[in-house]
Structure 1
Amino acid sequence: MGAGLATSRYTFRIPLPTGYALFNTSTGSALRIDGADADELSVLLSGPPTVVPEDAFGAELAGTLRRGGFLLDPAFDELAEIRDRYRAARGGAPVALTVTTTMDCNLGCYYCYESRSPDALAVADADRLVAIARDRLHRQHKRSLHVDWYGGEPLMNLPFLEQASAALQQFCRAEEVTYHASVVSNGTHWPDDVGAFVTRHRIRQVQISFDGLADNHNRRRRYRAGHQPADETSSFDKAVALVDRLLRHTRVDLRFNADHGNAGDLPGFIDFAKRRGWFDAPFRCVFMVAKLAAYSDRAAFLRPHELTAERFEELQALADAELPDRCRDRQDIVEGFPFPRTSVCGALADDSTVVGADGLEYRCGLQVGEAHRAVGEFGGGRRLLPLAPREFPDRTWWDEFDPTTLPTCARCSFLPVCWGGCPKRHLDGTQAERDAEGRRWRLNLPRMIAAGLREPAPDGFVFSHHDQFRDEPAPPESRSNSGRGLSSNP
């Protein structure tokens, strides 16, 4: 008898029409098993970590299970490997600058959580932005820079954007650094030379949001006083016309902001987009459904308008069924399976930053304008003396955030595909949102595994809390099915 092999804490199983599927969230490996011993074997491999005799499986099966990460050497530390992966992702992430050109906006959306202020970056700030890019790129000799023009409505400060974009591109050419840009916009304040603008600023992606079909969109996205266009074109028609033109020059991400009042517009809006030819355009059009949510205390008023998790999942499923494959948002899925994470959001990337129009730097774009959440001053400081680190208490939190060391996340078997979800929710202490992230994985991972194997999703099957946290005793009523994930209660 050999020394023994340990089962992985990250293996999940789902029932198939014949046998079972095993999926390991740390390695991304999937395996079908059937036969007389399939039930017992799948329970063993997807249960709490345990050590089994090395010769218990037969040489061929043991080799397959080891290559997939379902069986391990007992001394191997899976959590430490995930921690190394996470920290490498933070350090290795490309340099991205999110630049808030202005906090001003020509629209007054009812759900907007940003404060409207005259804060705007000046043309003279372009050199300071280049200095930030130089510092971030030189830290680890990185060779790529991405700039995301953000606001407010970023094109309402066009003089700065033009100057800063030209200066950054000139710097990157001199340094032989790859440069590209994106824009997050409401689609109503663009110059007439759309194609030339995209080319001039090397824009490879534009995000345009819609709040439903014309009636709902226009009621939610009214022009603010003094910003009504002379021809009185609605915000919906302006955005639609822009998307028509952009898709001849660059990728467009369409974001449908869903709440209780406009969710019923989704099928009609997808049909509208099809009839406009957006999904067959020369450049890719990616469609995503987003849930209006209270991302900060300033947006707490949105909570009564938020869709339930179940309703939001219905909308996502509807969109997935109606969209052409090239237009689906597939950033976290490969052939149905979720990636074991190898990248982090920009807020966690060691060499990225968010530049606020208020002269402060932030880690997360959703915090822009919340001065108490700043982590530094733009370009080293606009004040006469630099601020001491103690005046930016969040700086240390962001530098040290590591889900693999958190008491709950470190125990969670979804950790490799989740990495704790949105870090801002951990900073804000929104436990309900973090709990919802676990619930989302318990509901959706079985469907992803089945889809990856081109099998029908097991009807009514969800993973249990015990499947997620395997160091906790299974509740008495489910001990006979411990590790099987057969609970119908998410």
Structure 2
Amino acid sequence: MDEETAGTGLATSRYTFRIPLADGYAVFNTSTGSVLRMQGEDADELTALLSGPRTVLPPAALGAKLAAQLRRTGFLVEPGSDELVAVRERYWKARGNAPVALLVTTTMDCNLGCYYCYESRSGEALDVNDVEGLVAIARDRLLRRGKRSLHIDWYGGEPLMNLAFMEQASAALQEFCASEGVAYHASVVSNGTRWPGDLAEFVLRHRIRQVQISFDGLRAHHDRRRRYRPGYRGPEDTSSFDQALRLVDGLLQHTRVDIRYNADHANAGDLPGFIGLASRRGWFDAPHRCVLTVAKLSAYSDRSAFMRPHELTPDEFEELQELAERLLPKEAQDDQDIVRGFPHPKTSVCGALAPDSAVIGADGLEYRCGLQVGEAHRAVGRLPVRRNLPLLNAGPSPSPGEGEGAWWDTFDPTTLPTCSRCSFLPVCWGGCPKRHLDGSRTDIDNEGRYWRVNLPHQVASGFGERAPEGFAFSAADQFRD
């Protein structure tokens, strides 16, 4: 320790948690991502001290070597330091560094009628006259901060039901990026029933590096929930489940596929059988990676409040996630927040918080969040050119939602009364920001509950172990002033 530290001691970090292991304890710091295993006769006392209320240790409380290690890894900090400041700086840096991503809703139309769909399924669609405006938005977002890559996420409705627009817009965006020396790549969110037969050429032509396909259980549940809407069923449309299966088979030869398993009370029991089916079809051994994520069907907005009775409880959903973790090979699990087997502090933000990103609705309006598409009063701008309007954000908002754009621009979980006190904040950043915009207190509280239950298991798993049955952090662990 240096001379100043030797005279004042060091303080314990508010972001340290301890997890019992088969031999000793793990301590994990959510702010630095540091993890240590401590064993021996002093391990219980030391880990309890490090993970407890903020305490200033006398200079001679620890040996110099141990104190230096704990200081270097963030378990001990200067007594007068404000750790929240470092989290806030990292959060705003992540917002500023976020890449340019445009979520483009080609159409609100869809050939399937899912019972839980929160979208309007209207006939709104972008057309070829909107291509110039879309390129103008991309140019503006790229040039304002000199960013050098563009990601397009084709979205709907079912985005491939407006293939003419997608083909022309994709070509124009790629041509612009090539002229500016900007990297380009794309992804697609689809129900898997309207793809052309030339998959290899299609993926290559549109520079698609990832596709998300959703399933609602095995065939019986999936087809019952994802029925063809009247007038949309063609002679080749026998089973939306079988069509999606065949598409995934083909796509995995050319690009990554993310499977979203939409779960509620009725189809949760299909998960083991579905994973077995995916394994037998070779999805987890394909040339490109297949990742399967269990998603809880939820009320994402006021329009889907009817979903509340169908939602899995937090306990039920966590049990289903644990089941998926046991059944899936490691390479098929979503590991975006896991580094070297351990959780990691967040370094990226939701696209809705990225200042240079945008969501373009099929109605020609700009939104910040994909879950708001079609809610015109939530719009923050609009497409130029076809509607003879100025560039996005250059004129008045097209809706009474004036000021909502400012909310997104200034949202900062480190300043919120609850989040600022939460020791999970560095790995969570408040969860879904739309939940805060909507004031969904239950959903916000469930985010904290998720980390109390799951963080111990994630850390223990990094050591190749399981946390003790029923072990979870308490509210006192979560909130340490």
Provide TM-score, normalisation by structure 1.
0.94
1:402 corresponds to 2:416: no
Q: C-alpha distance in 2, partners of 1:129/1:462? A: 48
Q: C-alpha distance in 1, partners of 2:192/2:104? A: 18
Q: C-alpha distance in 2, partners of 1:250/1:376? A: 33
1:444 corresponds to 2:472: no
Q: How far did residue 433 of structure 1 move?
A: 0.3
- Pairwise mapping of residues 266-277 of structure 1 onto structure 2 (< 5 A)? 266-277=271-282
Structure 2 gaps, min length 5 = 1-5
Q: C-alpha distance in 2, partners of 1:383/1:291? A: 41
1:141 corresponds to 2:146: yes
Fraction of identical pairs, as percent: 70
Q: Which residue of structure 2 aligns with residue 488 of structure 1? A: none
8 Å CA contact 2:152–2:186 kept in 1: the answer is: yes
Q: Kindly provide the CA deviation profile for residues 215-236 of structure 1, in whole angstroms up to 9, marking residues without a partner as x.
A: 1111000101111111342111
Q: C-alpha distance in 2, partners of 1:294/1:163? A: 35
Q: C-alpha distance in 2, partners of 1:269/1:456? A: 25
Q: Which residue of structure 2 aligns with residue 464 of structure 1? A: 474
Q: C-alpha distance in 2, partners of 1:380/1:455? A: 58
Instruction: Give the one of 240, 246, 263 matched to 1:241.
Output: 246
Q: Which residue of structure 2 aligns with residue 151 of structure 1? A: 156
Q: How far did residue 453 of structure 1 move?
A: 2.1
8 Å CA contact 2:132–2:385 kept in 1: the answer is: no
Give the letter aligned to residue 414 of structure 1: F
8 Å CA contact 1:98–1:355 kept in 2: the answer is: yes
Change in Cα spacing, 1:380 to 1:451, as seen in structure 2 (3 Å) is: farther
Q: C-alpha distance in 1, partners of 2:405/2:386? A: 15
Q: Which residue of structure 1 aligns with residue 121 of structure 2? A: 116
Change in Cα spacing, 1:380 to 1:402, as seen in structure 2 (3 Å) is: farther
Give the letter aligned to residue 388 of structure 1: P
Give the letter aligned to residue 89 of structure 2: D
Q: Kindly provide the CA deviation profile for residues 243-287 of structure 1, in whole angstroms up to 9, marking residues without a partner as x.
A: 111111111111111111111111111111111111111111111
Q: Which residue of structure 2 aligns with residue 434 of structure 1? A: 444
Q: Which residue of structure 1 aligns with residue 3 of structure 2? A: none
Q: How far did residue 380 of structure 1 move?
A: 8.1
Instruction: Give the one of 178, 181, 184 matched to 2:183.
Output: 178
Q: Which residue of structure 2 aligns with residue 257 of structure 1? A: 262
- Could you tell which deviates more after superposition, 36-45 or 458-467? 36-45
Q: How far did residue 11 of structure 1 move?
A: 0.5
- Could you tell which deviates more after superposition, 232-241 or 406-415? 232-241
Instruction: Give the one of 28, 52, 73 matched to 1:23.
Output: 28
Q: CA-atom RMSD, angstroms?
A: 1.4
8 Å CA contact 2:130–2:383 kept in 1: the answer is: no
Q: C-alpha distance in 2, partners of 1:20/1:274? A: 36
Q: How far did residue 414 of structure 1 move?
A: 0.3
1:62 corresponds to 2:72: no
8 Å CA contact 2:130–2:385 kept in 1: the answer is: no
Q: How far did residue 387 of structure 1 move?
A: 4.5
Q: Which residue of structure 2 aligns with residue 336 of structure 1? A: 341
Instruction: Give the one of 302, 306, 324 matched to 2:307.
Output: 302
The DSSP-based 3-state class of the residue aligned with 2:54 is coil
8 Å CA contact 1:2–1:55 kept in 2: the answer is: no
8 Å CA contact 1:211–1:220 kept in 2: the answer is: yes
1:280 corresponds to 2:290: no
Aligned residues: 471
- Could you tell which deviates more after superposition, 121-130 or 225-234? 225-234
Q: C-alpha distance in 1, partners of 2:280/2:116? A: 29
Change in Cα spacing, 1:104 to 1:416, as seen in structure 2 (3 Å) is: same
Q: Which residue of structure 1 aligns with residue 231 of structure 2? A: 226
Q: Which residue of structure 1 aligns with residue 204 of structure 2? A: 199
Q: How far did residue 393 of structure 1 move?
A: 2.4
Q: Which residue of structure 1 aligns with residue 174 of structure 2? A: 169
The DSSP-based 3-state class of the residue aligned with 1:113 is coil
Change in Cα spacing, 1:329 to 1:391, as seen in structure 2 (3 Å) is: closer
Q: Kindly provide the CA deviation profile for residues 115-153 of structure 1, in whole angstroms up to 9, marking residues without a partner as x.
A: 011111110111111111111111111111000000000
Q: Kindly provide the CA deviation profile for residues 61-118 of structure 1, in whole angstroms up to 9, marking residues without a partner as x.
A: 0011011101111232211111000000001011000000000001111110000111
- Pairwise mapping of residues 472-487 of structure 1 onto structure 2 (< 5 A)? none
Q: Which residue of structure 2 aligns with residue 481 of structure 1? A: none
List structure 1 runs of 4+ shifted beyond 4 angstroms: 383-387
- Pairwise mapping of residues 37-52 of structure 1 onto structure 2 (< 5 A)? 37-52=42-57
Change in Cα spacing, 1:400 to 1:23, as seen in structure 2 (3 Å) is: same
Q: C-alpha distance in 2, partners of 1:383/1:187? A: 35
Give the letter aligned to residue 468 of structure 1: Q
Q: How far did residue 355 of structure 1 move?
A: 0.3
The DSSP-based 3-state class of the residue aligned with 1:205 is strand
- Could you tell which deviates more after superposition, 149-158 or 26-35? 26-35
Q: Which residue of structure 1 aligns with residue 81 of structure 2? A: 76
Q: C-alpha distance in 1, partners of 2:237/2:473? A: 52
Q: Which residue of structure 2 aligns with residue 326 of structure 1? A: 331
Q: C-alpha distance in 2, partners of 1:381/1:430? A: 37
8 Å CA contact 1:335–1:451 kept in 2: the answer is: no
Change in Cα spacing, 1:263 to 1:53, as seen in structure 2 (3 Å) is: same
Q: How far did residue 33 of structure 1 move?
A: 1.8
Give the letter aligned to residue 436 of structure 1: N
Q: C-alpha distance in 1, partners of 2:231/2:250? A: 26
8 Å CA contact 1:185–1:208 kept in 2: the answer is: yes
Give the letter aligned to residue 44 of structure 1: L
Q: Which residue of structure 1 aligns with residue 396 of structure 2? A: 388
8 Å CA contact 2:10–2:58 kept in 1: the answer is: yes
8 Å CA contact 1:375–1:395 kept in 2: the answer is: yes
8 Å CA contact 1:376–1:392 kept in 2: the answer is: no
The DSSP-based 3-state class of the residue aligned with 1:379 is coil
Give the letter aligned to residue 62 of structure 2: F
Give the letter aligned to residue 447 of structure 2: E
Q: How far did residue 317 of structure 1 move?
A: 1.3
Give the letter aligned to residue 362 of structure 1: Y
Change in Cα spacing, 1:419 to 1:391, as seen in structure 2 (3 Å) is: closer
Q: C-alpha distance in 2, partners of 1:461/1:272? A: 33
Q: Which residue of structure 2 aligns with residue 483 of structure 1? A: none
1:313 corresponds to 2:321: no
